[in-house]
Amino acid sequence: EPEVTQTPSHQVTQMGQEVILRCVPISNHLYFYWYRQILGQKVEFLVSFYNNEISEKSEIFDDQFSVERPDGSNFTLKIRSTKLEDSAMYFCASSGFLGQGVNEKLFFGSGTQLSVL
Amino acid sequence: DAKTTQPPSMDCAEGRAANLPCNHSTISGNEYVYWYRQIHSQGPQYIIHGLKNNETNEMASLIITEDRKSSTLILPHATLRDTAVYYCIVRVSYTGTASKLTFGTGTRLQVTL
Length of chain A: 117
pLDDT tier, B44 (very low <50, low <70, confident <90, very high otherwise): very high
Q: How far does the CA of residue B1 sit from the closest CA of chain A (Å)?
A: 14
pLDDT at A8: 94
Tell me the average pLDDT across B101-106: 92
pLDDT at B1: 66
pLDDT at B101: 86
Sequence-distant (≥ 6) Cβ neighbours of residue B16 within 8 angstroms: B77, B78
Q: How far does the CA of residue B75 sit from the closest CA of chain A (Å)?
A: 19
pLDDT at B100: 81
* B92 or A37: which leads in pLDDT: A37
pLDDT in tens, A99-114: 665 556 899 999 999 9
| Spatial separation of the C-alpha atoms in residues B25 and B4, rounded to whole Å | 8
Tell me the average pLDDT across A13-17: 97
| Closest chain B residue to A98, measured at CA | B96
Residue B69 sits at the vertex; the CA angle it makes with B63 and B74, to the nearest 5 degrees, is 25
Q: Which of A55, A101, A109 sits opposite B95 (nearest CB)?
A: A101
pLDDT in tens, A33-87: 999 999 999 999 999 998 899 999 999 999 999 999 988 789 999 999 999 999 9
